[in-house]
Amino acid sequence: MLELMQGPLLISILAAMVRIATPLLFSAMGELVTQRAGIWNISVEGTMLLGAVVAYVVASTTGSPWLALLVAVLACALISLIMSFVTIVLKAEQFVAGLALNLLASGLTLFWFQTYVIGREPPKFAGFEQVDIPFLSDIPILGPVLFSQRALTYVSFLLPPLVWFFLYRTRYGLEVRCVGENPKALDVKGLGVGRRQCLAIMFGSLMSGLGGAFLMLGYSDRFVPDLIAGRGWLVVVAIIAGNWMPFRIVGAIFIFALLEAVGIHAQVVGVAIPHHVFLVLPYVASLALLAGLRSRTHQPVALGIPYSRE
Amino acid sequence: MENLLSVQNLTKRFGPVTANDGVNLEVRKGEIHCLFGENGAGKSTLSSCLYGYYRADSGVIRFKGEVAELNSPADALRLGIGMVHQHFVLVSNFTVLENIIVGSAGTGLFLTKSDARRKISELCESCGLSIDLDREIWELSVGEQQWVEILKALYFGAELLILDEPTAVLTPQQSDQLFRILDGMRMRGLSIILISHKLREVMQSDRVTILRKGRAIATVETSETTAEAITALMVGHKVSKHVRDRSVEPAGEVLAVDRACAIGEWGEDILKDVSFNIGRHEILGLAGVAGNGQKELFETLMGVRALSSGGFSLEGEAITKPTSREMLDRGIGFVPDDRSLEGLIPEFGAAENLILGWQRAREYCRGPFLDRRKMDALARRKIEEFKVVTASADLPVERLSGGNAQRIILAREFLHSRGLLLANQPTRGLDVAASEFVYEKILEKRAAGFAVLLASEELDDLLRLCDRIAVIFKGRIMGIVRPEETTLLELGMMMAGDAKDVQRTVQ
Amino acid sequence: MISIQRRSGSSLRWNVVCFSAAILCAFLSSAALLALSGGDAVKGFSALFTGAFGSQNALFGSLAKATPLLLVGLGTVIAFRAKIWNIGQEGQVLAGAMMAYWASLMVGSLPYWVALTVIALAGLLGGGILGLLAGYLKTRFGTNEVISTVMLNYIVIFFLAYLLDGGPWMETGVTVAYHQSPPVNPSLEWPDLFARGAGKLHIGFLFALAASAFCAILIDRTSLGYDIRAFGSNPTALRFRGTNVRRLLLVVMLLSGALAGLAGAGELFGTAHRLRAETLLGIGSSGIVVAMVGGLRPSGVMLAALFFGALKSGAIYMRLQSGTPAGLVSAMEGLVLLFFLCAVVATKFQIVRSNVHA
């Protein structure tokens, strides 16, 4: 293991960690806002998948990754209306609605994949390019790790502070947290609970779509049905393990990302351990994190409880 | 005096139930107007309509002489109608300030707390309230939480304040303080609608409107009437109030609690050196403001909460590490205060709820199977005996009224208990007739030799039913007194923890 | 004025309307999918139907496909009725198959029926242990079972991948590595119910029928079933009334996982005859759909399992006939589930026409 820790390899691992963390950060910050509004939305996995599919379709037909990103985000925002309708209007069990959405997403994807992708010439399209930030990228170690990434990665750095600021320092953030803690407190002041939850779901969904689209466009030009491979669930784990606090969630995400990065490099370097061990690490780690970090003090009190007046 | 609010012919239905039936109400500027009636008489529904939370099916509401379209609480707030709910609507991990300003009609993206802080401070000063705006709600006492609720309404510029059963959670002294605050607000020209079913409070208002079965029966000047006249109007017919039979003397010792202590989630004392005993033919009352350890005391006695030290014995036998199973098997009956959460399975019908806790007992089973025939027979018997109004024994109890749900719990507990009955707030939310039914049944058990622990917020009821009354404050027993040797004032002081002079314990 | 209100009872007519609408919506949207993908919807669906019910063979095929769905669905019902959200069926199916395979490597010398019993029990045990593990994480650490069961799915999938790809169970001596085990000992295959040639319907189908009866009785007529339903409605009251809810949770997870595990063992020894991830993946999620569409009632689950089993079976024929990919069935599962979910909620409401006198 010693050689793993040496210069270029270490930098490569850390850079991989940062890029692996990017889509997770997008999804997690979106899902955090959703959950803080009291919606136990477990459809992150499915939404990320839909984002990736839409991004692939648009990118392979138009060739423009940015347009693909935009359409994917819009599509996921639109899809979120299903979740909103089922949970806020019909007041169905939120877990069941999320599960249904996940199954729908994977089913539709499989059908689409078998119809359009499998057995055909893979389309050529350009994903996102690496953007080196002048000067900063020349700093040893930190430069290649943090400042030679895709443009969206830089955006993802800004996201946790922005979400924190939104939740704790703006009027709307206070209202969102209020909806998650005690929706009636807002309702008795005549402010719509459903509308705020709907918007929170939409935000979460479009950020998950963004994460999925980035996963597709950032580093690969091929689509596989298990592209998301549980990352949406890791996001939910990160939120619970991070006790619904933005920066702790970032911490949990970087643990997952680091494990995956190490796994990738272990395969390349060729360690005498079956590579499956490395692949499974993030999932084992997620159970360990949940068992270890049991503080739920910032869990929204009304999380998962449909709100109705009577 | 001019009318601030006038309601004409207001009707509100919930499905087949008519909660308000052609109600008329007039509230003057600068008066405390009491809405008086039993539980279920339609007081809360009426106030929710005035506050825009429910939309009335028909009727006209005028505020300051103009017809008010109240489609949401926002409309009411804009007009100047504020509400203080019986169950506080606060976010417990927000600060006082955040609770007051959340959802306020401020502009701009950012939270600007300084202006709000100044405005609230001024409000506090003018009402004579003193409260730290940066403490979180869970750190506050119940009385202080109520102030936050009042401040919330005033912050929106309320001219009419509706208070729903505001003293249910207060000691008599705290109630007096509240009334002083309300009096001050009245002097400043605010109008107050006070919803209550306690006579003591009604008599402190200017006028009272009496509701019965959804109808406004009468509005009278308080100074021109008597408590008896109001009660007669409220109930409509005479209800005989039960008192304990003094010819039966308590004897022996069924339950003895010895220095019981329990510690809460954050290491705080929930119960501290609680000691008392109850004999056969005895009802021990437990008085106290909600949240002072009553619930936890019942939970430890039922084996669902662990003691940190001390213990208790039953029929002379020490109980160590009790489980709820063991306590049920030992024949303890338990009526929990939150019946829908702790006493019933809402999706089950009466038949299945009647055997909750006994679903593996030989009486109702054949091997691993439930014996439906025996369950149904039991349900038929008990529904008749306890006069439960239900369409069938399988109708989910979540569809039953509170009184009928409580009857099912009583039927179950009376059937399976032997010797000790624990009843925490058994009449909460019940009307007078239903309450008296519950008390009648409890007194029957006393006559049969049971020991009964009865916690209630209705001190008058404790005084007429109990052989002795223990007062609990912050998890400590402040003293145990005989009803004939105490006064409301003394009980109130003990409930507030101010018991230096009166602390005593009678055996 | 027309308003929508929560209804106090349930009305059979309204239920029929709601669920018919749900099925109609699901089929229309599936047809739209088919059309969008360039297929002929009528041709596709008729091929689907022929493939599912067109002959005795097709019917047996449908029942065979329904078998694991029924078992998984029943396991899901037990958990979901208690509102314990076990969604680790994928992993539990795999674990059952793996445990059964492992057992089969050791029971070759036993008499046939004994060996068969041991293998079936091993399947139950494998899935059960995995369910129990998630239950333990919940009772010991308070880990949300939704998360833990999903994570265990991935862990089991990677474990199987290791076993079949470089691990001890990899098929060796073949030129192309398929990531599968060698075939199971032919003498240990589960017997077919009918003479060969009349379609393949193995004994697992009988197990599934027996399990249906078991679940129906368990839930409605036993003390344990009472506990399960009560736990789903109000676990606090159940705890206050003398039931050890931790133990109950473990029992529910054990039973739920065990039924999924049996499904895995049945697929392995009844139809696939070699351990291979592709043949087992998807059964778990389909089983969840079956349970929910079946209204979490064993009788409903039987119908739903037959329906989706027929779809899966017919899809193979449909692909041959019209080139429509079998993935259509997965998409349909999602659509049916979503519309059923809406229909279930709709049955609880009624449309009321009322005259308002102002």
A247-290 per-position pLDDT tens digit:
999 999 999 999 999 988 887 777 778 888 888 999 999 999 99
**CA nearest to B324 within chain C:** C242
Which residue in the set C8, C222, C244 is minimally distant from B369, CB to CB? C222
Residue C236 C-alpha, separation from nearest chain B C-alpha, in angstroms: 6
CATH 1.10.3470 assigned to domain C60-324? The reply is: yes
A165: chain B residues, CB-CB within 8 Å: none
Query: In this complex, do C326 and A114 lie within 8 Å of one another by their Cβ atoms?
Result: yes
Beta-strand ranges (E) seen in chain A are: 130-132, 148-150
Strands B215-221 and B207-212: antiparallel
User: C88-116 as b/e, with b when 16 or more CB fall inside 10 Å?
Assistant: bbbbbbbbbbbbbbbbbeebeeeeeeebb
Which of B 383-412 lie inside 8 A of C, CB atoms? 399
Which among C27, C8, C9 is positioned nearest to C19, based on CA atoms?
C27
A116 in contact with C, Cβ within 8 Å: yes
Chosen from A80, A104, A223, A224 to mutate, greatest number of chain C CBs within 10 A: A104
Residue C226's pLDDT is 97
Residue B73 C-alpha, separation from nearest chain A C-alpha, in angstroms: 4
B106: chain A residues, CB-CB within 8 Å: 171
B219 in contact with C, Cβ within 8 Å: no
Query: In this complex, do A111 and C342 lie within 8 Å of one another by their Cβ atoms?
Result: no
Residue C207's pLDDT is 96
Size of interface B-C (CB pairs under 8 A): 81
Query: In this complex, do C154 and A116 lie within 8 Å of one another by their Cβ atoms?
Result: no
* pLDDT band with cut points at 50, 70 and 90 for residue C2: low
Residue A150's pLDDT is 85
Rounded CA separation A169/A245 (Å): 14
Provide the whole-model pTM. Answer: 0.92
C-alpha dihedral (C129, C134, C136, C141), degrees to nearest 10: 160
Which residue in the set A184, A186, A190 is minimally distant from B75, CB to CB? A190
ipTM: 0.91
Q: Which two tokens stand for residue C141?
A: 């650490």
**CA nearest to B149 within chain A:** A185
Rounded CA separation C132/C105 (Å): 24
B3 in contact with C, Cβ within 8 Å: no
The arrangement of strands across the sheet holding B251-263 comes to B269-280, B251-263, B309-314, B317-319
Residue B1's pLDDT is 55
Residue A76 C-alpha, separation from nearest chain B C-alpha, in angstroms: 26
* pLDDT band with cut points at 50, 70 and 90 for residue C357: very low
Which of B 37-66 lie inside 8 A of C, CB atoms? 57-58
- Consecutive H or E run containing C339: helix C327-347
C217: chain B residues, CB-CB within 8 Å: 369
Reduce the DSSP state of residue B128 to 3 states and report it. Answer: coil
Q: Which two tokens stand for residue A17?
A: 């960690």
pLDDT for C184-229, tens place per residue?
Answer: 888 888 988 876 655 678 999 999 999 999 999 999 999 999 999 9
Helices (H) and strands (E) in chain B, counts: 16, 22
Chosen from C234, C251, C255, C350 to mutate, greatest number of chain B CBs within 10 A: C234
Q: Is the dihedral of CA B400, B404, B409, B412 positive or negative?
A: negative
B325: chain C residues, CB-CB within 8 Å: 242-244
Which residue in the set B77, B90, B108 is minimally distant from A182, CB to CB? B90
Query: In this complex, do C327 and A236 lie within 8 Å of one another by their Cβ atoms?
Result: no
Secondary structure string (H, E, C) spanning A87-105: HHHCCCCHHHHHHHHHHHH
Strand partners, B58: B11
Which of A 173-232 lie inside 8 A of C, CB atoms? 229-230
- Consecutive H or E run containing B18: strand B17-28
More confident residue, B107 or C75: C75
Residue C358's pLDDT is 35
B75: chain A residues, CB-CB within 8 Å: 190
C6: chain B residues, CB-CB within 8 Å: 15
Chosen from A167, A186, A189 to mutate, greatest number of chain B CBs within 10 A: A189
pLDDT for C97-115, tens place per residue?
Answer: 999 999 999 987 889 899 9
Which residue in the set A108, A277, A291 is minimally distant from C137, CB to CB? A291
Residue A129's pLDDT is 81
Which residue in the set C217, C221, C242 is minimally distant from B357, CB to CB? C242
Chosen from A188, A196, A243, A307 to mutate, greatest number of chain B CBs within 10 A: A188
A309: chain B residues, CB-CB within 8 Å: 53-54
**CA nearest to B298 within chain C:** C240
Residue C356's pLDDT is 45
Chosen from C217, C240, C244 to mutate, greatest number of chain B CBs within 10 A: C240
Average pLDDT of chain C?
Answer: 90
B325 in contact with C, Cβ within 8 Å: yes
Which among C346, C356, C354 is positioned nearest to C6, based on CA atoms?
C346
In this structure, of A214-218, B227-231, C239-243, the range with the lowest mean pLDDT score is: B227-231
Which residue in the set B324, B347, B368 is minimally distant from C239, CB to CB? B324
Query: In this complex, do B352 and C226 lie within 8 Å of one another by their Cβ atoms?
Result: yes
- Tell me the DSSP string of C145-195: HHHHHHHHHHHHHHHHHHHHTTSTT---S-SS--SBPPPPPGGGSPPBSS-
Please count the CA atoms within 13 angstroms of the CA of B253 that sit on its side-chain side: 13
Query: In this complex, do C337 and A100 lie within 8 Å of one another by their Cβ atoms?
Result: yes
The arrangement of strands across the sheet holding B160-164 comes to B81-84, B160-164, B191-196, B32-36, B207-212, B215-221
A299: chain B residues, CB-CB within 8 Å: none
Chains within contact range of chain B (3+ C-beta pairs < 8 Å): A, C
Rounded CA separation C140/B84 (Å): 41
Average pLDDT of chain A?
Answer: 90
User: C285-305 as b/e, with b when 16 or more CB fall inside 10 Å?
Assistant: bbbbbbbbbbbbbbebbbbbb
Secondary structure string (H, E, C) spanning B447-491: HCCCEEEEECCCHHHHHHHCCEEEEEECCEEEEEECHHHCCHHHH
Residue A230 C-alpha, separation from nearest chain C C-alpha, in angstroms: 8
Which of B 136-155 lie inside 8 A of A, CB atoms? 152
Tens-of-pLDDT digits for all 507 residues of chain B? 578 999 999 999 887 778 899 999 999 999 999 998 887 788 888 998 998 888 899 999 999 988 988 888 888 988 999 999 888 999 999 999 999 998 875 667 777 788 889 999 998 888 878 889 999 999 888 888 999 999 998 898 889 999 988 887 787 778 888 888 898 888 888 999 999 877 778 888 999 999 988 899 889 998 888 888 887 888 776 667 788 888 888 888 999 999 999 998 878 889 999 999 999 999 999 999 888 899 999 999 999 999 999 999 999 999 988 899 999 999 999 999 988 899 999 999 999 999 999 999 998 999 999 999 999 999 999 999 998 988 889 999 988 888 889 999 999 999 999 999 999 999 988 878 888 899 999 999 999 999 999 999 888 899 999 999 999 999 999 999 999 998 888 888 888 887 655 556 676
B12: chain C residues, CB-CB within 8 Å: none
Domains observed in chain B? 3-235 (3.40.50.300), 250-331+420-425+450-507 (3.40.50.300), 337-416 (no CATH)
Residue B322 C-alpha, separation from nearest chain A C-alpha, in angstroms: 27
Chains within contact range of chain A (3+ C-beta pairs < 8 Å): B, C
* pLDDT band with cut points at 50, 70 and 90 for residue A239: very high
Which residue in the set A171, A182, A188 is minimally distant from B53, CB to CB? A188
Which among B445, B193, B448 is positioned nearest to B335, based on CA atoms?
B445
Rounded CA separation A279/A287 (Å): 15
C358: chain B residues, CB-CB within 8 Å: 58
Rg of the Cα atoms in chain C:
22
Which residue in the set C37, C140, C345 is minimally distant from A115, CB to CB? C37
Where residue B52 falls (left for φ over 0; alpha for ψ -120 to 50; beta otherwise) is: left
Chains within contact range of chain C (3+ C-beta pairs < 8 Å): A, B
Which of A 146-175 lie inside 8 A of C, CB atoms? none
Q: Is residue A68's pLDDT more than 90? A: yes
Rg of the Cα atoms in chain A:
20
